Amino acid sequence: MTSKDQCDIYSYDEKKVHHLHEKMANKDLGSVAKMFKALADENRTKIVYALSEDPELCVCDIATIIGSSVATASHHLRTLHKQGIVKFRKEGKLAFYSLDDSHIYQLIKIALSHSEEVKTDV
């Protein structure tokens, strides 16, 4: 950090800080951080993006899309499932995955939109 991106003296707005501490105490921000951590892996983000474009894919489809083995794709899908990002159903010997809800779809679209804005601003 340089001196240009931080305060020159230490001073804070006690009222604002207290208000925000109270608001944060009532939110499960740890779960939000875990969800973003799960999405921080590029292959898992690719999986979620693929599922935002196609409502349901089998594990073999996903493995092919991300260029991995079925075992690796399954590992990523388990991580995403544990975080409530994807859900699955079995059909015979096949496992099909889809996004857990529309919020995940919205997060991916917003993140992509933001990424494009950042590229154009640079």
How far is residue 68's CA from residue 2's CA, in Å, rounded to a whole number? Answer: 42
pLDDT in tens, 71-80: 999 999 999 9
What mean pLDDT is predicted for residues 93-99?
97
For residues 65 and 54, the answer to whether their CB atoms sit within 8 Å is no
Return contacts of 61-66, CB within 8 angstroms, 24+ apart.
62/97
* CATH 1.10.1420.10 describes domain 14-121: no
Summarised one tens digit per residue, pLDDT across range 7-64 is 888 999 999 999 999 999 999 999 999 999 999 999 999 999 999 999 999 999 999 9
Mean pLDDT, the chain, rounded, equals 94
Domain ranges within the chain, ordered by starting residue: 14-121
The pLDDT-based confidence of 4 (bands split at 50, 70, 90) is: confident
